[in-house]
């Protein structure tokens, strides 16, 4: 059960962020079962070209989204997505923070805290930085990715008290982190039959994430009927010889309106089925300019690539 809970919760956030139009979080290893042995391929050795999209819809900002998770109908945790618009001298930036945690009753046997953040440019959704921290019982893992304008991507992964590993590659293809890709996808024109593909890097692996708009459906969301698109994601891991064979199945529902809210997510996991449902959306007061600048500067500090100084201040 606990492995399935972990897969479902991290699925949501690490692509999480989704809120992540389609919570790419289900894509990158989050709805997956146990890992098979395969030969690792360096991210820089990946040869792929994806279509370059342009934002066509302006999605809401300065909002807080709350979700509840169930496994086989049993409440197991909750998640939140905080999306803020930052007006900076260099242009408009989005800062998105995604959190997931197990419920108190589950914590007695299995405790998970996960947080991911992304900072990306609003004009083209190009990411500047992606950071992620996860604590699973007594184990922890952290990642920091810097995306540079010349196509260079620098990543570092570590555990508390260790220097960890650092990698760097360069690409001419448009590469996104899980959150920036998810938010970008929400800005594209949704029509039944259309599909969108993204080159996504999570700090270790590159994935080709494809979303297919399957149908329109009416769903009950927080007591209200909402028109939605039913979306099916597919995942192809580009950085090992096996590809991604662990994705069982997943479905997302996104509203057919100006909000483009991800209102439901359902996935078969290692054992059983995990679902996430949107329970409320709250407005966020804009931050003062000084606070905006300080927050973004703290997360884009290049010294974080080479040190373990990053502290995401995870929810206890």
Give how far Cα 68 sits from Cα of 32, 81, 182, 276, 278, Å.
20, 12, 19, 5, 7
- Strand pairing category for 175-176 and 195-201: parallel
- Residues 200-213 pLDDT 10s: 999 999 999 999 99
Q: Where are the alpha helices (DSSP H) in the chain?
A: 2-13, 104-107, 178-186, 289-299
CA 160 to chain centre: 22
- Residues 123-149 pLDDT 10s: 999 999 999 988 989 899 899 999 998
CB-side neighbour CA atoms (13 Å) of 120: 24
- Residues 48-75 pLDDT 10s: 999 999 999 999 999 999 999 998 889 9
For the chain, domain boundaries:
2-305
**Cα distance from N-terminal residue to C-terminal residue, the chain:** 22
Average pLDDT across the chain, whole number: 82
Determine contact, residues 64/47, Cβ cutoff 8 Å.
Answer: no
What count of other Cβ atoms lies within 10 Å of the Cβ of residue 22?
Answer: 31
Residue for token pair 């945690």: 101
Q: Is the pLDDT of residue 184 over 80?
A: yes
What pLDDT does 313 receive?
A: 34
How far is the C-alpha of 184 from the C-alpha of 179, rounded, in Å? 8
What pLDDT does 267 receive?
A: 85
Tokens of 76: 């197991």
């Amino acid at each position: 059960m606990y492995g399935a809970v972990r897969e479902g919760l991290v699925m949501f956030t690490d692509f999480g962020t989704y809120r992540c139009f389609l919570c790419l979080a289900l894509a990158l290893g989050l709805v997956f079962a146990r890992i098979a042995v395969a030969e690792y391929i360096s991210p820089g050795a990946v040869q792929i070209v994806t279509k370059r999209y342009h934002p066509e819809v302006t999605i809401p900002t300065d909002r807080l989204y709350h979700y509840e998770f169930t496994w086989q109908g049993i409440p197991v945790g909750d998640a939140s997505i905080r999306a803020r618009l930052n007006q900076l001298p260099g242009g408009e930036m989005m800062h998105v923070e995604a959190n997931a945690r197990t419920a108190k009753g589950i914590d007695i046997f299995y405790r998970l805290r996960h947080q991911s953040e992304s900072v990306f440019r609003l004009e083209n959704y190009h990411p500047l930085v992606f950071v992620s921290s996860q604590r699973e019982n007594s184990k922890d893992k952290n990642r920091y990715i810097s995306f540079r304008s010349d196509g260079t991507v620098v990543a570092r992964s570590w555990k508390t008290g260790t220097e960890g590993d650092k990698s760097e590659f360069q690409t001419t293809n448009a590469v996104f982190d899980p959150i920036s890709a998810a938010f970008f996808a929400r800005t594209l024109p949704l029509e039944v039959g259309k599909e969108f593909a993204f080159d996504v890097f999570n700090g270790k692996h590159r994935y080709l994430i494809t979303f297919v708009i399957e149908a329109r459906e009416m769903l009950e969301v927080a007591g209200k009927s909402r028109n939605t698109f039913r979306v099916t994601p597919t995942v192809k891991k580009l950085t090992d010889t096996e590809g991604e064979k662990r994705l069982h199945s997943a479905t997302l529902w996104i509203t057919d309106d100006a909000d483009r809210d991800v209102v439901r997510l359902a996935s078969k996991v290692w054992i059983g089925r995990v679902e996430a449902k949107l329970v409320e959306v709250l407005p966020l007061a804009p931050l003062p300019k000084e606070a905006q600048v300080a927050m973004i500067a703290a997360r884009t500090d290049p010294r974080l690539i080479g040190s373990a100084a990053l502290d995401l201040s995870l929810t206890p």
